Every structure is written in C-alpha cells, then in structure tokens.
Structure 1
Amino acid sequence: MSLADDIGNIGRAIQTRIYREGVYGRKPAVPVDPERLRRAARSAMSRRGWNYLQGSAGTESTASANRAAFERYRIVPSMLRDVSNRRLGVELFGRELPTPLLLAPIGVLELVHPQGDLAVARAAADSGVPVMLSTQASWSMERVAEAAPQAPRWFQLYWSSDDDLVTSMVHRAERSGCEAIVVTLDTHVLGWRPRDLDAGFLPFAHGQGIAQYTADPVFASLVRRRLKHPASSPAPRPTPQALRALWSMSRNHPGSLLGNLRSPCPRAAVETFLDVFSRSSLTWHELDFVRQRTKLPIVLKGLQRPEDARRALDAGVDGVVVSNHGGRQVDGALGALEALPGIVAEVDGRIPVLFDSGVRTGADVFKALALGATAVGIGRPYAYGLATAGARGVRSVLEHLGAELDITMALAGIADVAGLGPAALTRLDG
C-alpha cells in the first residue's frame, strides 16, 4: 500500500507492515523519528552541503519560531466518531491528490544526493504527491520530465531581472508538463545566512543549482553577449580553492568536462546568473506580466500578512502559500503557522491557501490543515530522506508523514481532511 492508494486506514496498514517486518529483525531503512532522520541525513552529507540545507537566517530564531508555533497549538480529540474509513485526498487545480502533502521547492539538491531533483521527481511519481521544481534546481525541468513523466509537478519561479528570461522559464514550464507556476516573493535578496557566510560558500557561484538557467535559450544568449564583452579587469591569481570552483563550474555546465575546462563559458554562465538572479523592484502591478504569458494557475509563495493576501486576490492569482521560507530569509520573523489563520480568514475560501515552513510530523500537517490550509508543503524532512536513501528515502518520508496524519485524524475523531477545522485545536497562551 502506498500514498497513491486513495483508501482509508493507510496509516494502520503502514504501521502494521513496519511492526511485522520487525518480527524478522528488519527495521525501517529510513528513520521514522524526526530527530533520528535528521541525524542520519547529517551523517550522509558534506559539511557545507548540510550547512546550506539546514542553515537559516541570522541566529536562526525564525526557524525556531516555526517549531514553537506548532507547539502552541494542541490537538483536542473528539470521541465516539465513526472514523473506520478515512479520506486524506484533496483536489488542487483540477487534480485529485491522494493526500494533502506537497513537496516544497528546495534548491541545489545535488548537495543532498547525487540524483537530486531526479530522485525527488521519481518519488513524486510513485506517491502522487506534487513536487514544486525549484528555479535553483540541479537538473532542468526538461530532464525531470524525461526521468519521471508521471510526476505531478509545479514550477517555482524566482523572478529574474530579465523579462525575456522570465517569459522563457514560464513557457518551458508549460511545455515540460508543469501544472502551476509558483512565484516566490520572499527571496528577491538572499537572506543573511551565517553558516554559508562563515564558509564563504554560495553554491551558485560554483555552478551548482543553476541548471534551469544553463538549459535556457534566453540565458544562453545572455552568456554569449557577456563573452563578446568580457570584463577588462585582470583575473585574480589562481588558488587551489579557485581551481576547485572552476572544476565545479565546468562539471555542472552543459557539455563535456574537458571542453568546459578549456572554455570561458562556465564562468561566464555563473557571472551572468549572479547578474540576473532576482529583481527587488517587483511590485503587485507586474504580476499581470506572468498572467499574460501562461494559462497555468499562478500561486504566490511567501505571504505572511492578511493585507498581502487581499492584494493577491485583487491581482487574480489562483492560490497563495503562507511561508517564511523555512526561516531562511528573515531572522526574528513570525512563525509561519501564526500567520496562517489571518490569511485564511482574509481569503475566505476564494482560492486555496497552502502552507509550508517548520513541518516535521504528520501531527504538524494536521494542525496546519485544521487552521485552514488546503495542502501542506514538506521541505527539509524529504531532503533528509533524500540524503539518507535517495528516491526511496523521499517515498519513505512521505509514507511516514501520510501514515501519521491518517492515524492522528483517526484518534482525533476526524474521518475526512475536509472536516478538519479550528475546533480540533486549542491554543496555549504564552
């Protein structure tokens, strides 16, 4: 039984399978306990890869606030309800999903596992859980579509400073089978992340996580333009670290490694990316730019204020994601779950309200759904699964979260996610 099987009691079935295998001495290859899973991922990853994945902004207080927000809400079960057959499925943008889970976008997944985005997409295809492909992916959306054509997928758009590149990315997303465009609003400037700063490590500067760009014809034309007008300043003196960076750029650039090592293109591609990555001048008025270029649903990611949700409705978007980027952007910010009820109230059922940031367990998913989320994005936990066991690890994490959600619903007296509401929770003061 898998998450793609839209039947009740999936939690008990997965739980029973694990216990039966334990009779023969077989324990789960991917830890169920969130902390053991995190430790397993840490041991499987390089130090700088782990710091990039795990790190958050500043003192990382926002990441802590995300977890504290979940702790403030407590589940209050109802007894003597018929929960013998439960339904976890939801409908989003015309697709019936087996669970209310989403795979949130995570960039540079090659730092987590050699197969990165490809492995995640294969897990998405097996589980029926949509994956949001990052603009900062390690494999292009076309490669992902080829590797896992059945995977339900959306495209997360970082709005470039070049309009033609934005247009090209959106059109490529349509052609490669993406079902929604998720415009991420909270990363027009990279957050202040001490773990990466102390290491002096930005993966994009090493040619990692820019595969969506190097596969793009508009971006390629920008690189050619740069090569015709190279910078006149002398190149810095080479160091062992710089040579390793050049190797990384060449290895990640399209074409042969040997040819890339002899070519200025990989370095020019990195420099071009750093020039066009984002646009801090973006305003609400410019959202129509994307609407005019696609018929796909448009979702805004990163909302935390009700007035921004109101502006999103006025702009005619098809959905919003309440998120603080897992704490990676603003230190000292509000826990994302605390922002969810106000935005749900403002939207008032007119469009789906999605949620991510700080989710670690099926009980967390339950709480977000009870506070009004239509579906819930999983971030670091699936990356931990990826680090631990590739595509199988991602599938296992989704299974465990879905099973725990199902069992939590049963024990709370809820037979259908559609019946979840604030009455299932109480909020602790302080």
Structure 2
Amino acid sequence: MKKDHYVLPKLSQIPPDVIAISDYERLAKDYMPHGIYEYIAGGAGDDITLNRNRTAFDAIGMNKRVLRKFTKGTTEVVLGEDRFRWPMLIAPLAYQSLLHPAGELATVEAANAVNMGMLTSTLSTYPLEQIGTAQHTGKWFQLYMQPDPEHTLDLIRRAEKAGYTAIVVTVDAPVSGLRNRQQRAGFLLPPSVVAANLVNYPTSKTQSLSPGQSVLLNGLMADAPDWDDIQWLRKNTNLPVWIKGISHPQDAILAVESGCAGIVVSNHGGRTLDGLAPSIDLLPPVRSAVGEAFPILLDSGIRRGTDIFKAIALGANGVLIGRPVLNGLAVAGALGVAHSLTLLQQELELAMALTGCETISDITLDCIY
C-alpha cells in the first residue's frame, strides 16, 4: 500500500498521554487521512444510532457491593464449544491495511499477546489462511454470504481447513448503509487495498430488471440471504454457526429454531440503519425471547471495561470490540491494539472487584441500575 494512505507509527510507540480508549479515539484522526478517518469513525445518516450507542451505556449505573470473598476470581467464559480467557473478542473488521501495512496480521499479533479471540472478516486484506496460521486461539471466521453459493461454500471449506472453530454470518448489512460522512469526505478504497479472500471469485452476473423495477429492492435484495440460506449453510458445515446482526426478538427466536449456536446482538456500530436503537437497549428483549441458556454476544459502542460489565449484566455472554481495535492499530500498530485490549481487560477486572463479582457468572442484573 502506498505510504500516502497511512501514517506508519514511529517505532510503534504508544503516545505518553494515552491512558484510555478515548485517547486512541482522539488521536486516531492524526494518524490517517481524512477520508479513511470518516470511513472508520462515521456511522450511517446523521450518526444518530452511532451516538446513542454511547449515551445508552453511559445512562446505565452500577451497584457496588463490599466485603465479598474472592478465592477463585476469573474472567473465563465458554462460548459454544470454545473457552475464552476474557468475555470479549475482536470483532470482524474489514480492510485493516487501510490503517497499517500489516493490517490483520498486526491485529492477530496483538490478540495472541493478550490471549483474546478474534473474528477474521471475509473482507480482510490478508488471506484467511495466513491470518489463521498466525492466530493461536479463538479462531472464528466471519462470513458474508456470496451471491454465488459455490463461492460461499469455498469460503467455508477454506475456513474449516485453516482451523477456524466457528462461522459467524453477518446478516444485517445485505446492502451498505447511507454513510454520509464518508461520502462527503470522498472516501474510496485505494486500488491496493482489496478483499484478499475474494480475489479468485469472479463477479456474479446480476439479474436483469424489468422497466420500473428498483435496483435495490428488486435487484440487490433479491440476491440477499434469507433463513433458507442459513439452513443450507448449517447443512454444509460441521462448525457451529452464529448469526451476527440480530436486533429483533423474533429474529432471535428464528435463529434458535434454525439450530444456530449463538447470536450477536448488533446494530453494526451504527453503520447501517440510522435510527435503530442502541445495541445495549436491544439486548434485554432479545435475551428474554431466547431464554437464559442461549449464547449471546453484543457489539456496538463498547469503549470501557464497565461497558462490558453492563452488557453481561443485561444478558450478554460476552462482547465484540470494534473501533477501539482500529484506532489502536492506526496509532501504534500491534502494540496499540494490544494496549487498547489490555485497558479494557484491566477496567473489566476493576469493575468486577469493586462490585464484588468474583466471576463472570456473578455479574447479574442486580449489579446495575
């Protein structure tokens, strides 16, 4: 990638004034061109959902308990068939070479360093095989189903062969949201930044439309996956299948009925439908719909370890971390990502200690108000 598309961090040093995730967010715009910054930081439309993701977390208070015994403290969680040291994973983040030449390889280096799982994106700029080889634990693959089922099947087989242990299908972005900020900034992917996993798949033919038909409603959406495709996917892999992008309780129930291993409650970081409720507000009704045993992850808006604590108290088994990873990558490469994740880990442990929660299972609804 040409150097005018990124600012290589000097010696990958963490700036001395970085002590919280918000500091990386503040500095990130100085480490990337304006267009890339707007692509990363912006949401859909007027950023209503993007901003509400944060204010919703801030509106939740915490209850403090004292004089509790701590003899077996742990942050471990079990998600499906995998055990994780922390109730958080790195979210599937596309085109990471926009921010650093090592892209996803720098991020996976950080994940290994802090013992955290990571979801590799279909739209990664390094092949899923190369990322999988570098990743030590918690290897999940995020899937965008392709218009040609054979291409989707090939991605699944490649993920299986590379040792990934779960497939996470993103379903809430069958078309891109109206991202006005990146439009105003004139952002376009540089020619050198490509989805490495898709380069060998020829472009599928688009269906012809009758006069008066909508390109979006009759064209693009006609190729979008539906619940039948989820059933087809489950029949074609022995890996557990998660659904990412659930925001409605009825869809959560359909995911359970379809035999999915778990779901991710998400509004896509506010990047698809502006006006959608904050993910943390969507979580309780979804949890109520599927019962206590069904695994749920949450993303969108996590910026503090206390946010992770609040999500777990409201019914999540864990969370996905998105923009904090990208900002850390832009500012200080793998070291910045590892530092960002470590800050969240430390803040979560501190929240647990000061609320009297020895284990993740101790974080319940009565821990917040």
Give the 3-state SS of the residue equivalent to 2:30 in structure 1. Answer: helix
- 1:198 corresponds to which of 155, 159, 184: 184
Instruction: Identify the residue that residue 227 of structure 2 maps to in structure 1.
Output: 284
Query: Is the contact made by 2:80 and 2:262 (CA closer than 8 Å) also made in structure 1?
Result: no
Task: Give the alignment partner of residue 115 of structure 2, picking from 105, 128, 149.
Answer: 128
Distance 1:34 1:71 in 2: 15
Judge conservation of contact 1:159–1:277 (CA < 8 Å) in 2: no
Q: 1:142 maps to what in 2?
A: 129
Give the Å deviation of 1:93.
2.7
CA-CA distance at 1:179 after TM superposition: 1.1
How many angstroms apart in 2 are the aligned matches of 1:129 and 1:27? 20
1:279 Cα deviation after fit: 6.3
Q: In 2 relative to 1, CA 30–119 (structure 1 residues): closer, same or farther, beyond 3 Å?
A: farther
Contact 1:107 1:209 in 2 (8 A): no
Taking the aligned partners of 2:85 and 2:364, their CA distance within structure 1 comes to 20
Partner of 1:365: 308
Conserved 8 A contact 1:302-1:323: yes
Give, in whole Å, the separation in 2 of the partners of 1:166 and 1:122.
27
Amino acid at match of 1:202: L
Question: How far does residue 53 in structure 1 lie from its aligned partner after superposition?
Answer: 0.7
TM-fit CA distance, 1:27: 8.4
What displacement does 1:282 show? 2.2
Structure 1 residues 159, 207: CA separation in 2 closer, same or farther (over 3 Å shift)? farther
Contact kept? 2:126, 2:197, Cα under 8 Å:
yes
Amino acid at match of 1:107: A
Cα distance in 1, alignment partners of residues 198 and 278 from structure 2: 32
Aligned with 2:123: secondary structure? coil
How far apart, in 2, do the equivalents of 1:341 and 1:149 lie?
33
Which residue does 1:299 correspond to in 2?
Answer: 242
Aligned partner of 2:31 in structure 1 is: 44
Structure 2: distance between partners of 1:390 and 1:213: 25
List aligned pairs for 1:252-267, cutoff 5 A.
none
* Cα RMSD, aligned residues only: 2.1
Which secondary structure does the structure 2 equivalent of 1:74 belong to?
coil
1:325 paired residue number: 268
Q: What amino acid sits opposite 2:356 in the alignment?
A: G
Q: Could you say if the C-alpha distance between residues 86 and 342 of structure 1 is closer, same or farther in structure 2, counting changes exceeding 3 Å? A: same
Q: Which runs of 5+ in 2 are unaligned?
A: 1-12, 206-218
Question: Which 4+ stretches in 1 moved above 6 angstroms?
Answer: 276-279
What is the SS of the residue equivalent to 1:321?
A: strand
Q: Deviations over 1:72-105 (max 9, x none)?
A: 2111111221236521111123222111011001
CA deviations 1:278-300 (Å, max 9, x no partner) are: 86542212211111211111000
- The one-letter code sitting in structure 2 at the alignment partner of 1:167 is L
**2:214 is matched with which residue?**
none
Cα gap change, 1:27/1:379 in structure 2, threshold over 3 Å: closer, same or farther? closer
Structure 2 CA distance, aligned partners of 1:112 and 1:279?
A: 34
Q: Would the alpha carbon gap of residues 151 and 45 (structure 1) be closer, same or farther in structure 2, given more than 3 Å must change?
A: farther
Q: What's the offset of the Cα at 1:351?
A: 2.3
Cα contact 1:30–1:37 (8 A) shared by 2? no
Q: TM-score, normalised by structure 1?
A: 0.76
**CA pair 194-348 structure 1, distance change in 2 beyond 3 A:** same
Aligned match of 1:402 in 345, 348, 352?
345
Question: Which residue of the partner structure matches residue 155 of structure 1?
Answer: 141
Residue type at the aligned position of 1:329: T
d(CA) in 2 for partners of 1:68 and 1:335? 9
Deviation of 1:332 after TM superposition, in Å, equals 1.1
Partner of 2:6: none
Match of 1:341 in 2: 284
Contact 1:105–1:134 (8 Å) recurs in 2 = yes
Q: Distance in 2 between matches of 1:424 and 1:79?
A: 12
1:177 is aligned, of 163, 168, 175, to 163
Query: How far apart, in 1, do the equivalents of 2:303 and 2:194 lie?
Result: 25
TM-score between the two structures when normalised by the length of structure 2: 0.88
Partner of 2:215: none
- Size of the aligned set, in residue pairs, is 344
Distance 1:128 1:198, change over 3 A: same
Q: In structure 2, how many angstroms separate the alpha carbons of the residues matched to 1:196 and 1:33?
A: 26
More helix by share: 1
Instruction: Kindly name which structure, 1 or 2, has the bigger radius of gyration based on alpha carbons.
Output: 1
Aligned-residue offset at 1:213: 0.4
C-alpha displacement of 1:337: 0.3
Q: What whole-Å deviation, never above 9, does each CA across 1:309-333 have from its counterpart, x for those lacking one?
A: 1111110100000000000001111
Amino acid at match of 2:352: M
Paired letter, 2:170:
T
> Are residues 42 and 278 of structure 1, via their aligned partners in 2, closer, same or farther at CA, if it must alter by over 3 Å?
farther
Amino acid at match of 1:291: R
Shift of 1:45: 1.2
1:63 matched residue in structure 2: 50
Match of 1:401, SS? helix
- Counterparts of 1:53 and 1:284, CA distance in 2: 30
Pairwise mapping of residues 374-385 of structure 1 onto structure 2 (< 5 A)? 374-385=317-328
Distance 1:349 1:207, change over 3 A: farther
Instruction: State the match for 2:10 in structure 1.
Output: none
Residues 379, 149 of structure 1: alpha-carbon distance in 2 compared, 3 angstrom cutoff: closer
Q: What are the Cα deviations for residues 36-69 of structure 1, in whole angstroms up to 9, with x where unaligned? A: 2112222111211111111110000001111111
Q: 3-state DSSP class of the match of 2:122? A: coil
